[in-house]
Structure 1
Amino acid sequence: MANRSPLDDPDNAAHAWARYRWLMKLMFGLTSVTVLIAMAFLYWRNGLVSIHLYIATGLGVTAAMMLMAALMGLVFLSSGTGHDEAIDDRLGDEAKSAWKDIE
């Protein structure tokens, strides 16, 4: 049976998710600044070529950075709360030795 995750406790989970939301807000601010810098650079190098270039650039940079922030934030959330240690390692040392044989 799997161990109990620290995220099962409502207080730990509330703290962890509040920290995750704070990280996402921080990354949205950084993303906004990055998009503005990218737009300024494009305008400086190309002038006003097409509004679609700026829309696509803004959406692309925003989507890439926020996806990266969301996934890395979830990794930090599961690792920082001890959720990763709550798994049931059914293979144990067998899997580790098998990976060593492959390398």
Structure 2
Amino acid sequence: MIASSLPNSRPSDSQLDCRPIEAECKKMADQSPREARMQEAKRRFALLMKLMLGACAIVLIGAFSWLHHTGTPMPLPFIGAIFVAVVGSLMLAAALMGLVFFSAASGADEDADRPEK
């Protein structure tokens, strides 16, 4: 009874714009499997770096709030040093670990095992 009184929120097939999806599918179909693996590895690496940047922000907020709560004086050079240390070390670690995953996912490790012809 109630369901019949609700408007149908799902668009009909004529209202859907499938052009962006079709273009992406066509682009993926034109790629070789190696290129597709490389694109997927790049996408995952970018996602990892974005997530780690968010984690850096959370750690920075926690570090600064803890330092403020303990009453530690925080001159501008001290804040800059903490920022560079936290962001630099976490992003460097994320980038290096991400490159290991990228290398494995993109097939570069398999290419290194094959002798050149």
Cα distance in 2, alignment partners of residues 41 and 14 from structure 1 = 41
Structure with higher helix content? 1
Preserved contact between residue 35 and residue 61 of structure 1 (Cα < 8 Å): yes
TM-score (norm 2): 0.62
The superposition leaves residues 27-56 of structure 1 with CA deviations (integer Å, 9 ceiling, x where unpaired) of 100111001101111112234431211111
Structure 2 residue matching 1:46: 3-state secondary structure: coil
Q: Over alpha carbons, which structure has the higher Rg?
A: 2
User: What is the number of residues matched between the two proteins?
Assistant: 84
Aligned Cα root-mean-square deviation (Å): 2.2
TM-score (norm 1): 0.70
Structural mapping, 1:6-45, within 5 Å: 9-45=34-70
- Structure 1 residues without counterparts, runs of 5 or longer: 1-7, 91-103
Cα distance in 1, alignment partners of residues 38 and 109 from structure 2 = 14
Mapped pair 1:77 → 2:102: yes
- Structure 2 residues without counterparts, runs of 5 or longer: 1-32
Identity among equivalent positions (%) equals 33
Q: Which amino acid aligns with 2:58?
A: V
Q: After TM superposition, where is structure 1 displaced by more than 4 Å over at least 4 residues in a row?
A: none
